[in-house]
Each structure stands twice: as structure tokens, then as C-alpha cells.
A and B are shown apart, each in its own frame.
Chain A
Amino acid sequence: MSDRDRQGAPRQAPGWQPSNWQAPLELEPVRPGPGANEATPQTEPTGDDAGKFANLSLSHWNWTVPGFIGGVLALILVALAFDASDLLSRAFASSYAFGAAVAGLVALVVIAALKLAVDEVISVRRLRRIDALRDEANQLLAADGHGAAGAFATTVSRFYRDRTDIAPTIETLNASINDAHNDREIITLIDRQVLAPIDQSAYNSVLRASRDTAIATALSPSAALDVVIVLWRNLKLVREVATLYGAKPGRFGSWRLMRRMLGNLAVAGVAEGLSHVAVDALGGSIAAAISTKLGQGMVNGLLTARVGVATMVLCRPVAFTAENRPGLRRIRTELLNVPKEVL
């Protein structure tokens, strides 16, 4: 059959990419190979070593600082171990029961420390995976091809597999994708169906946090307290937002994230300089001009908002597009209501 069908094949047709031209033909109705037919391909291309992807924030890996910190930490650990063994032997010497109690305490400390460490490692890995996902999405969008994004959709669904709140949207996503969608369309679907609802909740978190900071710092009596409030609320916000996107940061991880994000306010495209923040806040409201305290509150609120939005940008597995990039406009109008509420 295929012989007859191939009769019309050209030998050298100009402009027809002769090397890969293929005449129409009918194949045996065998099982099709693994193809682009459903959004359930098996491979998961991004493993945990995905950190090797170009990263939009982690600066060049330099061994000196981590080497120094790691060395110091290791030394402290060794010292602690010696101390602990010393402590244990002395406790056992005094009485068996006392020794057992101390041993239990030491075990608790060690296990808790291990758990913390493991959590941190997991959280760092998840952040790296998000970076890798975003890179992959960008590559797929740039290539504008067909057939590769099904695997990406699977990776994203797997990334969110233990999130019961996202499960319905993932289900909708899997039902929506069919073999005719090209890569760009599939990524758009992921963006709209899975990530847009998360964006919504994240934005609400940011809104709440920025109002909180604005009001609290406007009312707080001392500048030192301001700093504490801002730091604490921002850290909490970063954790909230990162958790919403599935980054699950640990305590230490949130710090890292926050540091990384502060360093990236510019990259994230939200910061137009702090002076701008002040102009935003002061220019909009006479009340703010009257009360410096109020003004400070609003600056802090806006700063928090920026931190929150930057976290959204950093934690999103698919980069925001020009259309859905979260803006500060709503937050700004919200903040302008703060003076009325406080006064």
C-alpha cells in the first residue's frame, strides 16, 4: 500500500525541503507511539538538579562565603557533639534516670535539628524547581512549537499534586488540554486555569499585608517598633505568598527568599526606586502630607506591597505576561483609604 502511495513523491522539489518531504500515506492501524496526543506523557524532564538552569536571581556561585560559613558551622557542630557526649557521660555518672532524661533531650534536639535541615533543603529545592519550571515555560514559549508542553503540564500538575485546594483546577486543566493545542496554548491554559486563581489569593494576601503594615506603623509609637513590624509582617507575607505558589519555604528559606527578593525588586520590575514610593504615597493624599506618621505608614504599606508582588513574580512557575502582571494600583487606592480609617 505504501509503495503505491509513495508514487507521487518528488525526487527533488525546490523549496520543499526535500530531505524531509513525505508523501501522504496510510499506515497500519497500529498503536500509535507515545505522542502528543494527550497531556499525559510520562517523562518529567526537570529533575531536582534543575538548579543548573540559568537563574534570574542567584548570583555567581562563589565558594568562599559558603565555605567559610559551612566550616564555622561544622566546627560548632563538632564542639557541640563533644559537649553533648561530655554532658551525657556526666549525667549518667550522677544517676541512670537523669542520664536517660538528658539523652532523651539530646535526641529531641538532634531530631528537631535534622527535621529543620531537611525541611530547609526541601524548600530550597522546591524554589529551584519553580525557577526551572519558569525557564522551561519560557523556552517553550520562545520555541513556539507543538507537542512538548504536554509534558510540562504534567510536571506542573505533579508539582501541585499534594495541594487539595488546587486539585480541582488541575483537573479542569487536564480536561481542557487536548492534542490539538500547541505549546503556547497549553502554557496559556496553565497560566489561566491553575495560576490565575493562585494569583488572586496571593494578591489578596499582599493587599492585606500592606494594609496591616500601613496601619500598624502609622499607629506605632516608636521607630524601632516600626522596623520590627515591617520585618515581621513582610516575612509572614513572603511565606504566605510562597506557600500559595507551592514553594513551601521553611523559616530559613523565607529569609533567603526575602533577601533574594529584596535584591531583585528591580529585576522583578516593580521597583521604580524608593523615592517613587514616597511620591506615590504622598502625592496622592493630602492627609499623608499632614501627618508624617501616616505618610510613613503608607510608605511602609507600599513597600510591603512591592515585596509581596516581587515574591509573586519569583515564586510563579510561569512568568507573568504583560496582561496579567499584578499592578500596585489597587493596593495604592486601598492604602489611600488608610488615613481615613486611622484618623
Chain B
Amino acid sequence: MSTKFPDWNNLAGFGEKVLDQALGHVGTLAGRMLEGNVRLGVTGLRRAGKTVFVTSLIDNLIRGGRLPFMDVVAGNRFLAARLRSSPDRSAPRFAYEKYLANLTAAPPHWPAATSGVAQLRMALRYVPGSSMRRSIQPISTLNVDVIDYPGEWLMDLPMLNQSFADWSALTLELLEHEPRRQIGARWLHWLSTIAPDKRADETATKEGASLYTDYLHACRRSQANLSLVQPGRFLEPGELAGSPVLTFCPLPLPEATARPGSLWEVMSERFDDYKHNVVRKFFVEHFSRLDRQIVLVDVLGMLNAGPAALHDMRMALTACLEAFRHGRGGWLSKLTGGQIDKVLFAATKADHIAASQHGNLKNLLDMLVSEARNAIRFEGATVDTMALAAVKCTETVTTEHQGRKLACIQGTPLGRQKPTVLFPGSIPDGPDLFPEDVAQPYRFMDFEPPAGVGRDGRGLPNIRLDQALNFLLGDRLV
């Protein structure tokens, strides 16, 4: 027997090897197929901190040294993260390297305001937590897609669901109140000189649109730091700068039905054009199939700007969030078909206040978004709120002031060279945010990124970025 089949054992070994290899191939193939994908929607009004958040998120995932609250990191299962080219070529790549260079330069500075859309895909490699999954696939990959865009564009989202008449009525109603009435005085004056049902004349149209654009710019610049400014492309036109799509403005509803060729008709057509070809295109391309969403809210900035700003921001946020598909509801889904099952509301720039105040900041955010949060919960998605800082620029220190211990922060205020210690004020834990007899109760300062930030190679220092990521992605990294 053994002489006849001298290689019997080897043959068996060979067969085993072949089988092994085949299985290995199947394994990697299956592995490819089993690669997870998550589209993370970073949502935030202008200057809320989206660009900085995305930069810090990428940097921290790549370096992995400051994420102790991510379960996958805490369990030593996280292997590495790499940037990948995005399968969707319709938008430029997010310039992570450039923004990181900004933050780590000497002297460091913040990235400039975003003027166009950018996207990035990141692949996270990790070891599955359960032995069952490990036996199928020893190493798993999760692809995370993020996009960044000017916050102004987000305000276009509510327009998708409105007709020109609806939108005009809402906008004009806003203009009846201060501070908008004052800011928009010149455009309102123009409005009183025209009749929407008269024949359109191109110079008048242009003038109206340009005055309206000026008004939007003034809103954005204003002390009240208004958020509800539409249409967003009037402020950040991106590739549309100077395009005729951007020459319209809201009009009062004419008494009689407008004749073809009237100003109302012309503007209405341009509005629809804008809605379909600009807004819808953008949201379908980039906000479709979102799985997770983080809503960044600059609560502190709004407190600085006062009650009008806060109120405005709440309206703006509510209007935007209605569109998303959370759980089952939301009309954006009719365009896209995605389903968001986890939403995180985050108060950004938490490093502007002492750490002992973070609890109050979170409670305040809870209060501000309570309606949206309940609506989202009702639709079956999970919601959480958090106070975080994508890039931590201050240290909390305790100092003695007039015999009292004060929790202060130490950092370099924006525009200065030297670090200083300041008491930024506190956030009340009740609903009475703006007491009558205090002229300006809040003066939270912006800070420069700390010198030498990120030099230790552990990722940008942050506050609760890891907890945010764990909430948003943790269940996909098990």
C-alpha cells in the first residue's frame, strides 16, 4: 500500500493546502463583501464647527491615541484607519492635510470658512469583538463617508418643500420683526417701489436680487448673528458665482394671478430652477442614504449673540431637521431613500467654558433641541446630546478671585499671542437664559488653536470626540 502511494500523506497535505487557500480566498472575498459602509452626515449651521470637527475626527481615527471611550479602541481591537478615495467622484476631496497643516502650523490658525462641498472616505480596520464573527472574518473593515460643505447651504434644505409663494410669505414675515426689519430696510424700500404683477424688467430684477443678497450678508454679519438666511448660495455661491440662477428674491403675493412675464412669474421660475437644479441636486448627491447624523450646534456663540440669535437658530435648526429621514419619517427620504437611525446633537466648542460647566451646556442643548429630539425619537431613531470640542484649546484651572474659587480656563484668545487665564462666565442651569437687567451676560471668547497642537502624534486633543464617535459608529465596530 505504502509503496503504491508513497506520497499519500503529502497528497493529503496538499489537498488540505488547496482547500485552505480556496477557503482563504472565499474568506477575503466574503470579507470584501462584508465591508461595512456608514455615511455620516455632519450637519451644522455656518461656523458651527463642521470643518474642524471632520478634520479632528479624521486625525484622531488615523492616530488613534486619544479615543479611550471608543469601545473598539478600549478593547484593543482597533487596528488602523486609512484615507481612501471616495467612490463618488462628483465632489472634490476633503483637504484634510491642508486643514491639519493650518492647525499645526506655527503660529497655528483655524481653517477658513468653507466655500464648497468636499468629501472623504475613511476605512477603519478592526478585529471583530465576538469570536463568532472573528472566525468568519478575522479582520473587518468599516468605510466611513463624510462630507463637508458651507453651513449656509444647509438652510436651503427647508426650501425644497416650499413653493415660491410659501417661501416668500415666510421670509417676508420674518422681515416684519427686528432686527431683520432694520437690516433689510433698503431691500424693503425697493420692494415698496415695485409691483410683482407688472412686467419684469431685467435691471429691476437684478437690483432686487442684489439688494436682497446684501441684506443676507448683513444678516450674517450682524451682531445678532442670524442663522435663518436663505437661499444659502446667495452667500456662498460656490461654483455658481455670478450665475443667473441666483437672481431672484422673495416677493409679496400679487392680488391677481400673475400674468406670464410678470416679475412674480420670472422670480418664481428662477426660484424653481434654483430649487431643482441646485438644492435638490446637492442634497440628493450628498445627503442621500445617510446612516448616522451629528448635528453640531454652536450654543455658546448664540448665547453671546443674544436672545434673537438663539431664537433664530432654533427655528433654522428645526426647519432643517424636519427634512431628514429619521427612523421612518422625513420627506427628504422621498428623494433619497436613506434612513438615519442615530442622531447626535453636539454643542461644539465646549472648551470655551470651564469643564465643570459642561453639564449645564449639555442640559441647555437638551432644552434647545427638545422638540426635534422628541420628533426623532418618535420616528424610532436613537438620539443623544453631548458637549464636545473637536480641538481642545484651553485647560480648566481653578483660581482664587476675591476670596472665591473660580473654575477658569487658560488659553490664547483669538488674535492674541500669549495665553491668559479667564473666567468665561457660567451657564445657568435653568431656563432663564437672558435676565432682564444684565446687558450682556455672556462673553465667551474664541481661542487660537494651542501652539504645538498634535505634535505628540496621538491625534488632536479633543473633548468627548471619542464618546461622540462611539455613539455614532460604535455599534458598527463590534
Q: Which positions in A face B, CB cutoff 8 Å? A: 8-17, 20-30, 32-37, 144-147, 172, 175-176, 178-182, 185, 188-189, 192-193, 196
User: Looking at the complex, which of B20-28, B332-340, B341-349, B400-408 is the stretch in contact with chain A?
Assistant: B400-408
Given contacts A11-B437, A33-B399, contact A176 B68 (CB under 8 A): yes
The minimal Cβ–Cβ distance linking B300 to chain A, given in whole angstroms, is: 12
Kindly state whether residue B463 has any CB partner on chain A within 8 Å: yes
Taking CB atoms, residues of chain A closer than 8 Å to B422 are 24-27
Given contacts A24-B443, A27-B421, A178-B392, contact A15 B401 (CB under 8 A): no
Kindly state whether residue B442 has any CB partner on chain A within 8 Å: yes
Additional pairs, 7, CB under 8 Å, beyond known A37-B396, A179-B355: A12-B437, A13-B435, A13-B437, A22-B426, A27-B423, A35-B397, A178-B392
| A74 CA / B438 CA spacing, docked (Å) | 74
Taking CB atoms, residues of chain A closer than 8 Å to B435 are 10, 13-16
Q: What are 28 residue pairs bridging A and B, where the CB atoms are less than 8 Å apart in the complex? A: A8-B440, A9-B438, A10-B435, A14-B432, A15-B428, A15-B435, A21-B426, A22-B404, A22-B406, A24-B422, A24-B423, A25-B423, A26-B423, A32-B395, A32-B398, A32-B399, A35-B397, A35-B399, A36-B356, A36-B398, A37-B395, A176-B66, A176-B68, A180-B392, A180-B464, A182-B358, A189-B69, A192-B68
Kindly state whether residue B419 has any CB partner on chain A within 8 Å: yes
| A144 CA / B359 CA spacing, docked (Å) | 10
Q: What is the size category of the interface that chain B forms with chain A?
A: 35 or more
Taking CB atoms, residues of chain A closer than 8 Å to B69 are 185, 188-189
| A333 CA / B432 CA spacing, docked (Å) | 57
| A44 CA / B269 CA spacing, docked (Å) | 73
Taking CB atoms, residues of chain A closer than 8 Å to B464 are 180
* Residue among B358, B405, B458 having the largest count of chain A Cβ atoms under 10 Å: B358
* Residue among A24, A33, A147, A193 having the largest count of chain B Cβ atoms under 10 Å: A24
Chain A residue nearest to B396 (CB atoms) is A179
Taking CB atoms, residues of chain B closer than 8 Å to A196 are 74
Kindly state whether residue B56 has any CB partner on chain A within 8 Å: no
| A20 CA / B438 CA spacing, docked (Å) | 15
Kindly state whether residue B116 has any CB partner on chain A within 8 Å: no
Chain A to chain B: the 5 pairs with minimum beta-carbon distance, closest first: A32-B397, A35-B398, A24-B425, A13-B435, A15-B432
Taking CB atoms, residues of chain A closer than 8 Å to B461 are 178
Taking CB atoms, residues of chain A closer than 8 Å to B443 are 24
The minimal Cβ–Cβ distance linking B388 to chain A, given in whole angstroms, is: 9
Given contacts A16-B428, A146-B356, A180-B463, contact A24 B442 (CB under 8 A): yes
Taking CB atoms, residues of chain B closer than 8 Å to A172 are 68
| A8 CA / B358 CA spacing, docked (Å) | 23
| A178 CA / B68 CA spacing, docked (Å) | 11
* Residue among A12, A23, A147, A179 having the largest count of chain B Cβ atoms under 10 Å: A179
Taking CB atoms, residues of chain A closer than 8 Å to B419 are 29
The minimal Cβ–Cβ distance linking B447 to chain A, given in whole angstroms, is: 13
Contact A8 B441 (CB under 8 A): yes
| A23 CA / B439 CA spacing, docked (Å) | 11
With beta carbons under 8 angstroms apart, the residue of A8, A26, A147, A188 that contacts B438 is A8
Kindly state whether residue B157 has any CB partner on chain A within 8 Å: no
| A211 CA / B170 CA spacing, docked (Å) | 73
Kindly state whether residue B424 has any CB partner on chain A within 8 Å: yes
Contact A33 B400 (CB under 8 A): yes
Contact A29 B425 (CB under 8 A): no
Contact B408 A179 (CB under 8 A): no
Per-residue CB proximity of B3-44 to A under 8 Å, as 1/0? 000000000000000000000000000000000000000000
Chain A residue nearest to B458 (CB atoms) is A175
| A123 CA / B428 CA spacing, docked (Å) | 48
Taking CB atoms, residues of chain A closer than 8 Å to B440 are 8
Taking CB atoms, residues of chain B closer than 8 Å to A30 are 399, 421
| A13 CA / B428 CA spacing, docked (Å) | 12
Kindly state whether residue B265 has any CB partner on chain A within 8 Å: no
Chain A residue nearest to B357 (CB atoms) is A146
Kindly state whether residue B189 has any CB partner on chain A within 8 Å: no
Chain A residue nearest to B463 (CB atoms) is A180
Contact B74 A192 (CB under 8 A): yes
Q: Which positions 442-464 of chain B face chain A at CB distance < 8 Å?
A: 442-444, 458, 461, 463-464
Kindly state whether residue B52 has any CB partner on chain A within 8 Å: no
